[in-house]
Structure 1
């Protein structure tokens, strides 16, 4: 690996760790970079998932004040994410690699749509009537998002915020804290499974892990101050380029 490739991956990991904490969809930064450098999509996904584990947890730690007193709910939501992540990793490892490569552009496209519509979802969050509905449907949706996250991590955070925002009355910052911790659980479960049974580039893992750790801390500090519009625009542009590359290869 050339020095400039190391620098590019490290920068992408820092950026992804920051974006994941503030908005979500950091994978749409790191995944296209790894694919552009020649890594197969499955290897890029698994290496990225393991590398982003540390950044997910530092981002969750940065939101610990918003999660004070929420231990019971976090445990219940975390169990749903845990089992969903197992299902997603089994799905990824069971499908032929060719099938995965065909599905990736669709998943990236879906993620970009979610990135674009997230501001409209946020507006709806402000108009809720204050009634919390932590019913079976919410747990089922968190489980399904866990499956998606275990299969392909991009935009699982935005999915979580969207679903919880439509069904819970909590402030958006608390929902963001929930999102960070649940995403960390999914990444950890998927990463542990991938580490034993999937193709991994450990140099890539090390670079992303180190840089995303700093990114998670940075993202937590600026989460309330930095408007996500500029970051969202760049994510959409990079993701669109990734789709073009994956479709034309």
Structure 2
């Protein structure tokens, strides 16, 4: 079923609470073509599950203009068997143990940012904490110099907004960084990806660039929004906020519930 409806109103109050609109779309336009972005939207669980599982019908390969080659060889824009091959290589270096080993450093960064916030009577939580934390963590994982982190945030936001200049600038940056790392390898994810093999196959230069860009954008945007959504949800539900304060063992469950309830694609207009 299709309907003549506006896909995503931009009113800030709507973005803070889109649930009634989502319910309306499930009832009246479960499969919807958004003319502004020229793409199909699906709103019911069964439909979403089918789209995600039937890759031969619903391909992840997004048509790109001839001059746009970036993101075409990434995990999010390839189908099997290429997707499986890319994932196998990346999994060799981006392991669960590697992520867990980051926990002490992430904790340290968290306390540093919180201490900086304590020095002010009033702070913008998003810009003081939710934005810088994931950027710093991802930059350290990739081995990005400190002075380049501001560019990374700008590029990441630009890519979400489909800014072709931002995409090109970030891709060019990673291409140069990969050249440098091939000559001077370090203790970082990029260096490990350069040497990773799967069945005798290595990542190509374009695949390396695309993976680095996807990691930066996905880790930055989603984590910033998760942190922001968590604070907003606790503000909107003071009883649950107090319950969590009284029993911090509930924190893992609270995070899972925010991921379910405050869907990350929404609540972005902070």
Shorter-chain TM-score bucket reads under 0.3
Under a length normalisation based on structure 1, what TM-score does the superposition of the two structures give? 0.24
- State which structure, 1 or 2, has the greater radius of gyration over its C-alpha atoms: 2
The TM-score normalised by the length of structure 2 is: 0.23
* Bigger proportion of residues as helix: 1
Q: Highest relative contact order (Cα 8 Å, sep 6+), 1 or 2? A: 1
